[in-house]
Structure 1
Amino acid sequence: MTTDNPTPLLIRPTQLAERLGVGRRTLYDWLRDPDPAHPIPRPLKIGRVTAWRTDEIEAWLDQLADRSRAA
């Protein structure tokens, strides 16, 4: 029996902030005043829960990495 840990489909603000090494407030600042070239994806609101789709965050991070390598 294998114990694979599948990637979660959604990531909550606290988890995302920790992964990026920023505060939760910074995430919301980025949403309010986005980088025009690579804005952070919009989160989903499910009732009172806010979360981002993991695949959208991965794609956004890939774009940022590509931009960083090109600079």
Structure 2
Amino acid sequence: MTLEKRVEELEMSLLHTRQAINEINCAIDELSLSVRQQLVVDDMAAQKQTAVQLEDSGCKVHLPAGGVIVINRF
């Protein structure tokens, strides 16, 4: 295999990797939006026990029983 052919294959592989990363980021964005929409808490006690941090890069939910759910966009 010539060096030129190998470079072409590596460029194509890089393109496919970037496309896959784009698709993953889109899926994360959709999931993050869905989670944000579902984080409407009606119960005041639950609101006091649950801390929700919404950020541009994602969201973080501190659960009342301990633990954290983090959704980040990278």
Higher relative contact order (CA 8 A, sep 6+): 1
| TM-score scaled by length of structure 2 | 0.26
Say which one has the larger Rg: 2
Higher helix share: 2
The TM-score normalised by the length of structure 1 is 0.26
